[in-house]
Chains A and B, each alone.
Chain A
Amino acid sequence: MTQNKPLLEVRNLHTEFHVEKRIAKAVGGVSFDLNAGEVLGIVGESGSGKSVTSLSILRLIPDPPGKITEGEILYGGRDLLKLSYEQMREIRGREIAMIFQEPMTSLNPVFTIEKQVTEPVLLHEKLNRKDAIERAVEVLSAVGIPDARRRLKDYPHQFSGGMRQRVMIAMALICRPAILIADEPTTALDVTIQAQILELMQKLQGEREGSSILLITHDLSVIAEMCDRVIVMYGGLIQEIGTIRDLFGNPLHPYTRGLLASIPREENKGKKLYAIPGNVPSIFDFPSGCKFCSRCEHVQDRCREEAPELRELAKGHLVRCHFAEELS
């Protein structure tokens, strides 16, 4: 991991949705760096703001009802939020690419694989069609599509779910972007297929020097498998950031600890699982003060009144909890 300037800096990002005259603060001030060459994970449940954060980076939030209201997203010395539409379009797919959760619906059903996979290079690199096809064959082979050249004329429905996710990855990587944002890339897949895709992403990451992955998932095990560092989100805010060793070895936030404790493990067989009490509030109902205070077992009056700041307790290990020191 290089220690020079981060590849991407997200500063105080706020994204809101206006739903039936109410405002849902999906992301309420998120800041983090994505370093060159690293795999950074964002883990959270529904309503945590993890997906909205990732979509905000590429400005893919549907507007209306969504709106990025505040913040900066710095990439290559420019604030992506200040770029014109046309400049932003140049970034998408070329510098920062994205893959999504649902491989079944994320490909256009009426276009051939060839048309979809070559589209980014035709758009961004102005390659001629023949070269674009060569590049597509190369990248489809690299993601493990057998007999790639013959399958170019096939349509998405002729591929299985795992194969479609490989096509998505090929399409995202064809312009050799610096950053790949992967939003729940394996959630819709079977376990043995998930293992294939994770292995592929690791292999490709090893080959793509200096490029980074931002991996969004709800599954801590996938984080442990794939990431260098991890961000834990809850209620639209970062609750904890650290290396995976920090986070799994020395979790500081009560929410992180709750999540880790609630995973069924071999040694807990026959015992009760730890369960975080209560339910994830609806996006309109998160408490003021600490977002987690309505479910936290160590809640104090201060937590309900005063929103905690994200504090650095050890180098690179930050947590948003008033009482993190006492609890650990």
Chain B
Amino acid sequence: MIPTFLGITLLVFTITRFVPGGPIDRLMMEMSMSGSGEAGGGGGSAESSVDLPPGALDSLKEHYHLDKPMIHAYFLWLGDLLTLDLGKSFKYNIPVLELITKRFPVSMYFGLIGFALAYSVCVPLGVAKAIRHGSHFDFGSSFLVFLGYSIPGWALGLLLLLLFGAELEWFPLGGFRSSSWEQLSFFGRIGDQIEHTFLPVIAYAAGSFASLTILMKNSLMENLGQDYIRTAFAKGVPSRRVIFSHALRNSLIPICTGLGHAIGIVMAGSYLIEKVFNIDGIGYLGFTSIMDRDYAVVMGILVINTGLILLGNILSDVLYVLVDPRIRFS
């Protein structure tokens, strides 16, 4: 748990230290470029010959602990973390925590809705497929979920946007809310939010439909072949009840435990989908921070994401104990 957390953060911290083109370089490059009035120039022009007073450079380095040995700096960062201080963004020059907390709810909103959508579609679908194993319905639905699986989420998002947004104009072309949000009535706001939510959520969830549906189907089929199912039939239990009580309870065990893992991942957001739908979420922020060498933000997002995944793992374990009486905390 804690070792995992330390391991991941230390690893990324080290990488940020050794990858060429650190934040100071980047900063100086940008300054030099803006100074010479050239925008979008090639990276080759980034020479360190900048008219920055040497003292200022040192104080910058000191501010970001870049003057200290790596391990030392890592522990300083870790110490700051304990006081919930994630540092300041190089780029935006505001506290990282503020940057993240502003965007986090947006990603979480789409993630959780997509996640709920995936589970509420896949569990019944998997059950129906297991019961009608080998039917046309089974093959047809398999085709659809695997189609969703084989198209990347952002590509599907793009397709949906082109078709339903640009062509048919059923849905807006992205964004989290309309710019006229403030002027809308209560119900208008709800409608607006739903319109903006629909396409991104499908793009978020489509990829996970296949694995979750097939997991549900296989799990139920496997359990329907178990000895205790035969016992239930031999007792005269009606077949609906055999399936929906005896077998389903057992086959939900892997689904439930997967839930915890999945939740940590979906809440972390997805850069490409956020980019396509022009949503200012965590995924988008993370990606641009890496491009900008804005390492304080990268580390901050990493902390949040790692924490989420670890929390998800704990949730999984808790769910495991709740659904499977054979597992007990000892």
B230 x A93 contact (CB < 8 A): no
Instruction: Evaluate contact between B228 and A106: CB separation under 8 angstroms.
Output: yes
CB pair B231 A106 closer than 8 Å: yes
CB <8 Å contact, A92 and B235: yes
Q: B219-252 vs A: 1/0 string, CB under 8 Å?
A: 0000000111011111111110000001001100
B20 contacts chain A at the CB level, 8 A cutoff: no
Contact between chains at B230 and A106 (CB < 8 Å)? yes
* B73 in contact (CB, < 8 A): no
- A293–B107 Cα gap in the complex (Å)? 74
- CA distance in complex: A100, B226 (Å): 12
A-B contacts at CB below 8 angstroms, number: 74
A254 interface residue (CB < 8 Å to B): no
Whether a CB of chain B sits under 8 angstroms from the CB of A91 is yes
B325 CB within 8 Å of chain A? yes
How many interface residues does A have (CB within 8 Å)?
A: 29
Whether the Cβ atoms of B325 and A107 lie closer than 8 Å is: no
Contacts of B323 in A (CB 8 A): 110
Instruction: Assess whether A124 is in contact with B236, with CB atoms less than 8 Å apart.
Output: yes
* Across-interface contacts of A157 in B (CB, < 8 A): 325-326
Given contacts A108-B246, A155-B325, contact A93 B236 (CB under 8 A): yes
When C-beta atoms are compared, the residue in chain B nearest to A174 turns out to be B235
**Interface residues in A49-108 (C-beta closer than 8 Å to B):** 58, 60, 85, 89-94, 97-98, 100, 102, 105-108
Residue B324 lies at the interface, judged by CB distance under 8 Å to chain A:
yes
CB distance from B329 to the nearest CB of A (A): 15
A120, CB-defined interface residue at 8 Å: yes
> Given A92-B236, A171-B235, are A110 and B230 neighbors across the interface (CB < 8 Å)?
no
Query: Which A residue sits closest to B247, measured CB to CB?
Result: A108
A264 contacts across to B, CB distance below 8 A: none
Given contacts A119-B237, A124-B236, contact A102 B325 (CB under 8 A): no
Which residues of chain B have C-beta atoms less than 8 A from A108's C-beta?
A: 228, 231-232, 246, 249-250
A30 to B: closest C-beta gap in Å: 20
Contact between B230 and A60, CB atoms less than 8 A apart: yes
Tell me, yes or no, whether A319 is within 8 Å of chain B by CB. Answer: no
CA distance A91 to B235 in the complex (A): 9
Q: How far is the CB of B252 from chain A (nearest CB, A)?
A: 9
Q: Considering the chains assembled together, what is the distance between the CA atoms of A102 and B238 in angstroms?
A: 23
Most buried by A among B228, B246, B326: B228
Determine the residue in chain A with the shortest Cβ distance to B325: A155
Q: Mark B248-270, 1 if CB is under 8 A from A, else 0.
A: 01100100000000000000000
Residues of A within 8 A of B249 (CB): 108, 110-111
| Cα distance, A111 to B239, chains bound together (Å) | 17
Contact partners of A168 in chain B: CB under 8 A: 231
Nearest chain A CB to B134's CB is how many angstroms away? 9
Take A109-B250, A109-B325, A109-B326 as given contacts and tell me if A102 and B236 are in contact as well, using a CB distance cutoff of 8 Å: no
Query: Which of chain A's residues have a CB closer than 8 A to the CB of B246?
Result: 108, 111
Shortest distance from the beta carbon of B318 to any chain A beta carbon, whole Å? 16
The reply to whether A91 and B236 contact each other, CB–CB distance below 8 Å, is: yes
A94 in contact with B236 (CB, 8 Å): yes
Contacts of A237-280 to chain B: CB distance below 8 A: none
Mask of B263-298 contacts with A, CB within 8 angstroms, 1/0: 000000000000000000000000000000000000
Distance of B193 from chain A, by nearest CB (Å)? 39
Is A105 a contact of B235 with CB atoms below 8 Å?
no
Beyond A110-B249, A110-B325, is A120–B236 a contact (Cβ under 8 Å)? yes
A280→B235 CA distance, assembly (Å):
33
Query: A65–B127 Cα gap in the complex (Å)?
Result: 21
State the Cβ distance, B47 to closest chain A Cβ, in Å: 68
**B residues apposed to A, CB below 8 Å:** 226-228, 230-239, 246, 249-250, 253, 323-326
Q: Would you list 14 pairs from A and B whose C-beta atoms are within 8 A, ordered by A residue?
A: A58-B234, A60-B230, A85-B239, A89-B237, A90-B236, A93-B235, A106-B228, A106-B230, A107-B231, A108-B228, A110-B324, A123-B238, A155-B326, A171-B231
The 7 closest A-B pairs by CB, nearest first: A93-B236, A92-B236, A93-B235, A105-B227, A98-B234, A108-B228, A155-B325
